[in-house]
Amino acid sequence: MPPRRVITGRSQEPRQRFAEELRLLRQEKGVSLQKLAEVVGWDPSQFGKLETGRTLGSPEVAQALDQYYGTPGLLLALWELAVADTSQFKEQYRRYMTLEAEAVGLWQYSVSAPPGLLQTDGYACEALTAGGLRGEELNQQVEARTSRRKLLEGQDAPPFRAILSEAVLRTAMRDAQEWRRQLEYLLEAAERPNTTLHVLPFGAGPHGLMNTDTMFLRLLDGRTVAYTENDVRGELVEETSRVERLHRTYDAVRDLALKPAESRTFILRMLEEVPCEPST
């Protein structure tokens, strides 16, 4: 089969194509970033970042620009493709991200950080900065990570169960107010009908997953796969016997954890210990 001919000469990479279309539409309209911001209502620096691909913004921004440019649904569709594009993730995570998006059920054990699916923007930024990311790469990876939250939102969201080691709730962020937001987000998530959180207290003692973040995905074809990660590497586990052994270990850890209601109380107690922003 001959290679597909490129008609427009524009990027075939979803994120870059979204940025190109925004830039071209504004140029055709003959308006500056400042003027665009005045009319549509966001900061001009936001539109500058959108047009250079440094951020994808929100669906609300894409819809507002569709209305302004007279392109009903076009920019929102391009935004959705860009957000869903797994190439924004580092290579080792891409196949896992593809499977995660297709999963009909998810289970996780978290060693020392909130699950990526439940991280706030502030937490993701501080964690990735601590890992050495800076500048545009940091912005891209923060957005890639936090966009995953949408998987657990909406009427058709899959069930998600997470066991949080007490270390997750004791390893506070440097910014106390951002840490409050993260804990509040965990409490909000725990109230959703599809999300169940357990806290595993230190008093539970040693167990089989204490050094390994572990996620299980139940897929449409009935298979379950696992993804394990430590400080050095991550591994997608698809061999049935290995997944089964990991799942038995996970079940044993869940038996040691607090029940959901007790876990929400535990998280609330951690939140109450965080200093409030001083009133002025």
DSSP string covering 25-75, please?
HHHHHT--HHHHHHHH-S-HHHHHHHHHTS----HHHHHHHHHHHT-TTHH
> How much is the average pLDDT of 248-265?
97
Residue range 4-40, pLDDT digits in tens: 445 667 777 888 888 899 999 999 989 998 889 888 8
> What pLDDT, on the 0 to 100 scale, is given for residue 92?
54
Q: Is the pLDDT of residue 3 over 80?
A: no
At 1, the pLDDT band (50, 70, 90 cuts) reads very low
Q: Is the pLDDT of residue 280 over 90?
A: no
Under 8 Å between Cβ of 20 and 10: yes
237 token code pair = 């586990």
pTM: predicted TM-score of the whole model, two decimal places: 0.70
At 105, the pLDDT band (50, 70, 90 cuts) reads very high
> What pLDDT, on the 0 to 100 scale, is given for residue 6?
52
Q: Is the pLDDT of residue 191 over 70?
A: yes
> What pLDDT, on the 0 to 100 scale, is given for residue 96?
82
Q: Is the pLDDT of residue 48 over 60?
A: yes
Q: What are phi and psi of 104, to 5 degrees?
A: -105, 0
**Between residues 98 and 109, which one has the greater pLDDT?**
109
Helices (H) and strands (E) in the chain, counts: 12, 6
> How much is the average pLDDT of 119-127?
94
Burial of 216 (0-12, 13-18, 19+ CB in 10 A): buried
Which residue, chain included where needed, has tokens 């049935």? 240
Neighbours of 113 (CB within 10 A): 18
**Between residues 43 and 152, which one has the greater pLDDT?**
152
Percent of the chain with pLDDT over 70: 91
11 token code pair = 């990027």
Neighbours of 99 (CB within 10 A): 18
What secondary structure letter does DSSP report for 276? P
At 98, the pLDDT band (50, 70, 90 cuts) reads confident
Could you give the C-alpha distances from 77 to 7, 81, 126, 207, in angstroms and in order?
19, 6, 30, 46
Mean pLDDT of the chain: 88
Least confident of 44-53, 167-176, 268-277: 44-53
> What pLDDT, on the 0 to 100 scale, is given for residue 274?
92
> What pLDDT, on the 0 to 100 scale, is given for residue 278?
62
> What pLDDT, on the 0 to 100 scale, is given for residue 55?
73
What secondary structure letter does DSSP report for 217? E
Q: Is the pLDDT of residue 252 over 50?
A: yes
> How much is the average pLDDT of 47-74?
85
Q: Is the pLDDT of residue 136 over 70?
A: yes
> What pLDDT, on the 0 to 100 scale, is given for residue 87?
66
Ranges of beta strands (E only) in the chain are 105-110, 160-165, 195-200, 213-218, 224-229, 234-237
> What pLDDT, on the 0 to 100 scale, is given for residue 154?
84
Can you tell me the distance from the alpha carbon of 50 to that of 58, in angstroms, rounded to the nearest whole number? 10
Residues 6+ apart with CB under 8 A from 139: 49, 54, 55
Q: Is the pLDDT of residue 265 over 60?
A: yes
